[in-house]
Amino acid sequence: MTTVAEAPPRAPAPETEPPRKRGRWTPYLLLVPGLLWLLVFFALPVIYQASTSVQTGSLEEGYEVTWHFATYWDALSEYWPQFVRSVLYAASATVLCLLLGYPLAYLIAFRAGRWRNLIMILVIAPFFTSFLIRTLAWKTILADGGPVVGALDTLHVLDVTAWLGWTVGDRVLATPLAVVCGLTYNFLPFMILPLYTSLERIDPRLHEAANDLYARPSTTFRKVTFPLSMPGVVSGTLLTFIPATGDYVNADLLGSTDTRMVGNVIQSQFLRILDYPTAAALSFILMAAILFMVMFYIRRSGTEDLV
């Protein structure tokens, strides 16, 4: 039916009957409400934010657009460590998610048998407990002198991580390690689900074919399974990296002032210090940086259909 709209108009109209215009306006009627919503409450705010970022003034006297681009420079020079930290933490969490999530996704797709549904439920079910409550639980798990930290200390793992700068002294809480651990935990399902979806689509006979053609299990994985799961890897890493970069909950609850990420800065500038231009500039830089990285990544990985 979709072709109807494209068909050229009927040649000399033979009868009085007008040519049918089936559904010429329907798509627009369907689109308008939702798109208007997105335009007004998503696109327009981005423009407002851009305008706010080049305003000067104060809360009392009001703000005015003065094209004060120096705000960007000031914001960057003051908060670049937080930017770098955000990208580093998010990237580490993404890599960890991939390393931890892949075996589980593989397990569900190929090895779980009749346990498949149960494991799927267990992966999704934690979602139903507020993520803030679950993140707070990590405070208990990683508590100073608790069993986890004690074990890591006895095994001298903490010495290594302290030497790398991931932990401080014999603490895990309030260190970069705790924040990355929290980020990894929070976004792990977003890695596992796309991975599972793309692994599940792989015909198991391909494994048999690869084995039949003299590929050892490890070769089969490298040459067949992993390449075929690339769409899942790409969307999983994006779904992990993007929200992790902007997150401030984990850095706030599990970190310290030394682990503040750019999200924390934006949040406090906006909601506590009320320096709107700086906050807007920071947020705009973050947006631009993420879009740039995502575009580059998509180009490189050659996948266009992410959604």
Partner 1 sequence: MTFVNWLKRRLVVIAGLLTLAYLLLPNIVVTVFSFNQPKGRFNYEWQEFSTEAWQDPCGVSGLCGSLTLSLRIALWATLGATLLGTMIAFALVRYRFRARGAVNSLIFLPMAMPEVVMAASLLTLFLNMGARLGFWTILIAHIMFCLSFVVVAVKARVMSMDPRLEQAAQDLYAGPFQTFVRVTLPIAAPGIAAGALLAFALSFDDFIITNFNAGSTVTFPMFVWGSAQRGTPVQINVIGTAMFVIAVVLVLVAMAVGNRRDRRKAQKTHRSPL
Partner 2 sequence: MTTTKDTTASGNGGDVRLTGIGKTYGSFTAVHPLDLTVPQGSFFALLGASGCGKTTTLRMIAGLEEPTSGTVHLGDQDVTALPPYKRPVNTVFQSYALFPHLDIFENVAFGLRRRGIRSVKKQVEEMLELVQLGEQARKKPHQLSGGQQQRVAVARALINHPKVLLLDEPLGALDLKLRRQMQLELKRIQTEVGITFVHVTHDQEEAMTMADTVAVMNAGRVEQLGSPTDLYENPRTTFVANFLGTSNFIEAEVDAKSGDEIVLKAGGGKLVLPRARTNAPTPTGGKVLVGVRPEKISLTHADDAGGIPEGRNRITGRIADSSFIGVSTQFVVDSPVCPDFEVYVQNIDRDTRLVPGAEVVLHWNPAHTFGLDAAQSLLAGTVGSAGAGTVEEEVAR
| Residue 42 touches which member of partner 2, partner 1, none, C-beta under 5-8 Å by kind | partner 1
Rounded to a whole number of angstroms, the minimum distance from the CB of residue 23 to partner 2 is 11
| Beta carbon nearer to partner 1, 119 or 168 | 119
Q: Is 135 in the site for partner 1 (CB under 8 A)?
A: yes
8 binds, among partner 1, partner 2, none (CB under 5 to 8 A by kind): partner 2
Choosing among partner 2, partner 1, none, which partner's interface includes residue 190 (Cβ < 5 to 8 Å by kind)? Answer: none
Distance CA 97, CA 104 (A): 11
What residues contact residue 76 under an 8 Å CB cut-off, 6+ apart? 83, 285
Which one, 107 or 215, has the nearer CB to partner 1? 107
Q: In the window 144-173, what residues touch partner 1 (CB under 8 A)?
A: none
Of the candidates 124, 103, 99, 125, the one whose C-alpha atom is nearest the C-alpha of residue 112 is 103
Residue 133 engages partner 2 in binding (rule: CB under 8 A): no
Contact 197, 206 (CB under 8 A): no
Query: Of these partners, partner 2, partner 1, none, which one is at the site of residue 213 (CB under 5 to 8 Å by kind)?
Result: none
Altogether, the residues listed in the chain come to a count of: 307
Rounded CA separation 185/144 (Å): 19
25 touches partner 2 by CB under 8 A: no
Nearest to 105, CA basis, from 127, 120, 90: 120
State which residue, 176 or 189, has the beta carbon closest to partner 1: 189
Looking at the DSSP bridge assignments, the partners of residue 171 are 168
CB 261 within 8 A of CB 247: yes
Task: Report CA-CA distances (Å) from 20 to 7, 9, 30, 113, 143.
Answer: 11, 10, 20, 53, 71
Binding test (CB under 8 A) with partner 2, winner from 22, 114, 205, 300: 22
Ranges within 59-88 binding partner 1 (CB under 8 A): none
Among 111, 102, 126, 97, smallest CA distance to 198 is for: 102
* Residue 7 binds to partner 1 (criterion: CB under 8 A): no
Minimum CB distance to partner 2, residue 27 (Å): 17
- State in angstroms the smallest separation of the CB of 2 from partner 1: 6
Stretch 105-124 residues interacting with partner 1 (CB under 8 A)? 105-108, 111, 117, 119, 121-123
The Cα–Cα gap between 118 and 131 comes to 21
Task: Show contacts with partner 2 in window 82-121 (CB under 8 A).
Answer: none
The site for partner 2 (CB under 8 A) is made up of 1-4, 6-8, 10-11, 14-15, 17-20, 22
